[in-house]
Chains A and B, each alone.
Chain A
Amino acid sequence: MVGTIILFLLPLVASPYLSFLAAQYYLFGLLGISLGIMWGYGGILSFGQAAFFGLGAYIMAWSFGLSPLPINPAYIALMIAPLATGLTAGLLGLVLFYSDVKDVYFVIITLALSVILEQLAVSASDIFGGFNGIYVPRMALSIPGLFSIKLINDRLFYYVALLAMLGGYVVCYRVVNSPFGERLIAIRENERRTKSLGYDTAWYKTQAFALSGSLAGIAGALYATLSQFVSPPLTGFVLSTEVVIWVAVGGRTLLLGAAVGSILVNAASTVLSSVIASQYIMILGILFIIVVVAFRRGIVGYIIDRYDIKGKL
């Protein structure tokens, strides 16, 4: 609670650039949460989260290209992006989970999805802008007839990103604490048993994946208009892998771990890359290994276990 208040007051003291960075981290935090609910609760590792993130980003970019619309194009993108990414994830899940694909193949197939989309974005340059990417304007917050503010100010965007992440967190928190969430945990713990108790586990996994995909899509859509640029790597293999690292570092069995891990690792990358540009990826890699070996439940999981504060979250 205190933490949330601090987050809301931060832009008052932070520079616009820092607000911009923080906004990016929150959107990555939302991307981390989208993986956390699948991996931490359903026990299903998706290596293709960037595919949904990137698709959401391109949808935001395309929305500004539509001929003048009577409504705010960003609003349309923010509705279409989660629908499209959720549907993609849902359909993929339907096919894969009902054919009883093994977890390891799910990893490979989602990874392939990410790679395919990245290649498509590179080659279909008339749609995706190829390597050069697409410029995206900042979105506006508007209520027709009342007001319209273009979010040029990074401090304003900070709040949009923060609210998006907190919103995603609250939605996922409610989901994992519902009967649905309990069944996801049951599937993670023992899918065979859960099936044999009459649960259609493939359907639960499909729904979780659809939710995960749509959250990643929203994060991507907002990221596009925040960074004002989309390009193929946003959908790609590298980002997909990085999300897994963020969530593992923070602690995948807790939504908070997924969010905090994403923010921390990205902040660390920014700091390290400005101090020691050449070796920072290696240092991050070593940090990752240390965390995974020493704290099986991630940094957040470790702190919660150590100080026994689970009940207070």
Chain B
Amino acid sequence: MSTVLQTRDLRKEFDGVVATDGVNYAIDNKTLECIIGPNGAGKTTFFDLITGVLTPDSGTVEFNGDDITGLSVHEIARKGVVRKYQTPSIYNEISVDRNIRIAFGEDGTTDPNRRVKKILNRVGLAAVDDQIAGTLDHGRKQWLEIGMVLASDPSLILLDEPTAGMTTSETSRTADLITEINDKENISIITIEHDIDFVRQLNCPVTVLHNGSVLASGQLSDIEDNNEVQEVYLGR
């Protein structure tokens, strides 16, 4: 399997606070991984550095072997690294299906109507395709954004706490959705998460970030046995 994303010695400092401290991270093609860590561990900053929202002070980001460090947000997105933000980031005043349509991007797609349907079916919003997006409940807004990310035809999806604010059943459906996307669409997914039950349900390799650097990585069961992780994160 080939590496889809690789960061090397990625570093970012804000006014003396090191948010990302030499992170070396790699994820293979078509795999699903989780990043966990306590608040302030630098998880969102890490995503910001990958997607071009922030420029690293040093270090590089490679995507499919190309150095994408320092490219702008839209250039990185066009290469196929697309992100879902933590709070639902959708177009509130227009309909659900138009949200998806815009997400196809500048080049559009062949047979957009069919693809809109397919994506809305995938994220479970086919019944509300003509509803104004801002009137959806919170969980559905999150799914719509996942649908938009999917519509942009990515090869790597970054999900920033996709289940934040969701009910238990919504969380569980989201876990199914994510594994399904990873499985059937052959897209690599990195998801940041707080909820350990959700991580367990995803059943994927986990990387623990702490104070801006990688503390541990491996299967969740190994991570949970790791003393250091228990100390900083699980609080046992």
Residues of chain A touching chain B, judged by Cβ–Cβ distance below 8 Å, are 179, 182-183, 185-186, 189-190, 192-201
Q: Check B78–A193 contact: CB distance below 8 A.
A: no
User: How many Å lie between the Cα of A78 and that of B161 in the bound state?
Assistant: 55
User: How many Å lie between the Cα of A197 and that of B89 in the bound state?
Assistant: 11
User: Chain B CB within 10 Å — which of A185, A193, A195, A201 has the most?
Assistant: A193
Q: Check B85–A199 contact: CB distance below 8 A.
A: no
Identity of the chain B residue whose Cβ is nearest the Cβ of A192 in the assembled complex: B89
Any A CB within 8 A of the CB of B19: no
8 Å CB contacts to A: which residues of B77-92? Answer: 77-78, 82-83, 85, 89-92
User: Chain B CB within 10 Å — which of A182, A192, A196 has the most?
Assistant: A196
**With contacts A182-B98, A192-B85, A193-B148 known, is A199 near B92, CB below 8 A?**
no
Residues of chain B touching chain A, judged by Cβ–Cβ distance below 8 Å, are 51, 72-74, 77-78, 82-83, 85, 89-94, 98, 101-103, 105-106, 108, 145, 148, 152
User: How many Å lie between the Cα of A31 and that of B83 in the bound state?
Assistant: 39
B50 to chain A minimum Cβ distance, whole angstroms, is: 12
User: How many Å lie between the Cα of A195 and that of B78 in the bound state?
Assistant: 10
Q: Check A193–B152 contact: CB distance below 8 A.
A: no
Please count the residue pairs between chain A and chain B whose beta carbons lie under 8 angstroms apart in the complex: 59
Q: What B residues does A194 contact at CB under 8 A? A: 102
A82 to chain B minimum Cβ distance, whole angstroms, is: 26
User: How many Å lie between the Cα of A182 and that of B89 in the bound state?
Assistant: 17
Q: What A residues does B77 contact at CB under 8 A? A: 195-198
**With contacts A190-B89, A190-B90, A193-B90 known, is A200 near B102, CB below 8 A?**
no
A215 to chain B minimum Cβ distance, whole angstroms, is: 25
A311 to chain B minimum Cβ distance, whole angstroms, is: 15
Q: Check B98–A197 contact: CB distance below 8 A.
A: no
Q: What A residues does B105 contact at CB under 8 A? A: 197-199
> Which of A185, A186, A189, A196 lies in contact with B82, CB distance below 8 A?
A196
Q: Check A197–B91 contact: CB distance below 8 A.
A: no
Q: What A residues does B102 contact at CB under 8 A? A: 182-183, 186, 194, 197
A-B contact pairs, 12 of them (CB 8 A): A182-B102, A190-B92, A192-B85, A193-B85, A193-B89, A193-B145, A193-B148, A196-B74, A196-B85, A197-B82, A197-B103, A197-B148
Identity of the chain B residue whose Cβ is nearest the Cβ of A193 in the assembled complex: B89
User: How many Å lie between the Cα of A198 and that of B51 in the bound state?
Assistant: 11
User: How many Å lie between the Cα of A107 and that of B145 in the bound state?
Assistant: 31
A27 to chain B minimum Cβ distance, whole angstroms, is: 31
Q: What A residues does B78 contact at CB under 8 A? A: 198
Identity of the chain B residue whose Cβ is nearest the Cβ of A199 in the assembled complex: B74
User: How many Å lie between the Cα of A194 and that of B98 in the bound state?
Assistant: 13
Q: What B residues does A196 contact at CB under 8 A? A: 51, 73-74, 77, 82-83, 85, 89
User: How many Å lie between the Cα of A190 and that of B90 in the bound state?
Assistant: 7
A304 to chain B minimum Cβ distance, whole angstroms, is: 15
A186 to chain B minimum Cβ distance, whole angstroms, is: 5
B96 to chain A minimum Cβ distance, whole angstroms, is: 13
**With contacts A196-B82, A197-B152, A198-B152 known, is A189 near B93, CB below 8 A?**
yes
User: How many Å lie between the Cα of A123 and that of B123 in the bound state?
Assistant: 63
Q: What B residues does A190 contact at CB under 8 A? A: 89-92
Q: Check B106–A189 contact: CB distance below 8 A.
A: no
User: How many Å lie between the Cα of A201 and that of B73 in the bound state?
Assistant: 10
Identity of the chain B residue whose Cβ is nearest the Cβ of A253 in the assembled complex: B93
Q: What A residues does B145 contact at CB under 8 A? A: 193
Q: What A residues does B108 contact at CB under 8 A? A: 179
> Which of A179, A185, A198 lies in contact with B91, CB distance below 8 A?
A185
Q: What A residues does B98 contact at CB under 8 A? A: 182
Q: Check B74–A201 contact: CB distance below 8 A.
A: yes
